């Protein structure tokens, strides 16, 4: 039998006694109150380190009504989430920033089947704010949550009317226009496109950018097929383009995943890239570097996008003014497909 007394768990009172200050002073230091002298902060921090004191998060939450938790909501099915490298890069950026704060991150993969449960969770006081990434036309109800908790969208939500939404995004229209213009500047005159899903803002905007470039050069904009941002969707759309029987010498494809699927179809039909057909993609993920040939593509800074989303949300929660819309820069990466 072990007769040793259990070790006492350090308390706020023990820290106060060792530091030679009041319990309320320790509480203010733990909660980062500015109303504490530098000397008191140093004394309390020394006592905390010596005693290995860990603040009671539950008690702090009750006192401050803050959870120190943030939700990342991804309205996609699980298969789509794990197959798309964009999500991993954005999450990396979010986690990097939150690691410098006291906030923890809860990730919710919320397909439409359980979106109502997700909304109840967000409104139930479980988190201080939310990041919403990848949204569709049937996800508009997430916008209404902004009246309940601070929310930042990664990519503009559908039907964004410049209201009270906080958005971090790239300029998909201009980026697609530049990518398409690059093909035109390289002498291509029949430029098709494989657009992304048309219930998503990125799919709509990249299609609009393609049209703008062609209109600016007085070229026809009739060769359009729509995919779903997956390799299979790109392959299916490319089969449809070829089946039209109308010649084309270039394709702007709205994601590198779709471009990788489209390349396999072109090879199967005996068409070379870039000899017969030039390709420009979008994302600059590993699909662009592992494709044969490697893809010329639009680089969107997904890690930085995630970092800035987290920065904006933390500032919102703290009541610090921040711009409603932040547009991250993109650049064209030249490789061997043009």
Instruction: Give the CATH number of domain 12-64; options: 1.10.260.40, 3.40.50.1460, 3.40.630.10, 2.30.110.10.
Output: 1.10.260.40
pLDDT of residue 9: 72
Tokens of 184: 């035109």
Rounded Cα gap, residues 300 and 179, in angstroms: 12
In the predicted model, is pLDDT for residue 57 greater than 60?
A: no
Tokens of 180: 């398409």
pLDDT tens string 98-139? 999 989 998 888 765 566 778 778 877 889 999 998 766 655
Rounded Cα gap, residues 206 and 137, in angstroms: 16
**What's the pLDDT band for 1 if we cut at 50, 70, 90?**
very low
Q: Give me the chain's average pLDDT, please.
A: 87
Q: Which CATH superfamily is domain 69-170+302-329 in?
A: Response regulator (3.40.50.2300)
CB atoms within 10 A of CB 305: 22
Backbone angles phi, psi at 9, to 5 degrees: -80, 125
- Order of strands across the sheet that contains 296-299: 224-226, 191-195, 250-253, 278-283, 296-299, 331-333
pLDDT of residue 120: 79
pLDDT tens string 290-315? 999 999 999 999 999 999 999 999 99
pLDDT of residue 185: 97
pLDDT of residue 62: 45
**What's the pLDDT band for 271 if we cut at 50, 70, 90?**
very high
Angle, to 10 degrees, between the axis of helix 256-268 and the axis of helix 231-243?
50
Fold of 172-300: Rossmann fold (3.40.50)
Tokens of 266: 């072109």
Higher pLDDT, residue 194 or 138? 194
Sequence ranges of the chain with CATH classification 3.40.50.2300 = 69-170+302-329, 172-300
Sequence ranges of the chain with CATH classification 1.10.260.40 = 12-64
DSSP H or E stretch at residue 87? helix 85-98
Tokens of 8: 């006492």
């Amino acid at each position: 039998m072990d007769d040793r007394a259990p070790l006492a768990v350090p308390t706020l009172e023990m820290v106060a006694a060792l530091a030679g200050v009041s319990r309320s002073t320790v509480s203010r230091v733990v909660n980062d109150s500015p109303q504490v002298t530098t000397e008191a902060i140093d004394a309390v921090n020394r006592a905390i380190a010596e005693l290995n004191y860990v603040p009671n998060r539950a008690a702090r939450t009750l006192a401050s009504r803050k959870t120190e938790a943030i939700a990342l909501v991804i309205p996609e099915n699980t298969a789509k989430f794990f197959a798309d490298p964009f999500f991993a890069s954005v999450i990396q950026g979010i986690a990097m920033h939150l690691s410098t704060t006291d906030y923890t991150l809860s990730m919710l993969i919320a397909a439409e089947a359980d979106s109502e449960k997700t909304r109840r969770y967000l409104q139930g006081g479980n988190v201080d704010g939310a990041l919403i990434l990848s949204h569709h036309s049937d996800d508009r109800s997430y916008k209404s949550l902004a009246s309940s908790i601070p929310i930042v969208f990664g990519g503009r939500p559908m039907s964004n009317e410049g209201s009270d939404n906080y958005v971090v995004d790239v300029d998909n229209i201009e980026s697609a226009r530049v990518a398409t213009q690059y093909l035109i500047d390289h002498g291509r005159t029949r430029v098709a496109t494989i657009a992304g899903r048309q219930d998503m803002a990125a799919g709509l905007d990249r299609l609009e950018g393609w049209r703008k470039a062609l209109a600016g050069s007085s070229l026809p904009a009739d060769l359009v097929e729509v995919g779903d941002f997956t390799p299979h969707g790109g392959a299916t759309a490319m089969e449809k383009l070829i089946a039209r029987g109308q010649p084309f010498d270039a394709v702007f494809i709205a994601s590198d995943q779709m471009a990788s699927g489209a390349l396999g179809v072109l090879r199967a039909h005996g068409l070379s890239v870039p000899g017969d057909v030039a390709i420009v993609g979008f994302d600059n993920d590993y699909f662009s570097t592992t494709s044969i040939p490697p893809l010329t593509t639009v680089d969107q800074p997904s890690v930085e996008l995630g970092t800035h989303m987290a920065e904006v949300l933390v500032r919102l929660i703290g009541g610090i003014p921040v711009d409603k819309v932040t547009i991250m820069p993109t650049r064209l990466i030249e490789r061997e497909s043009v």
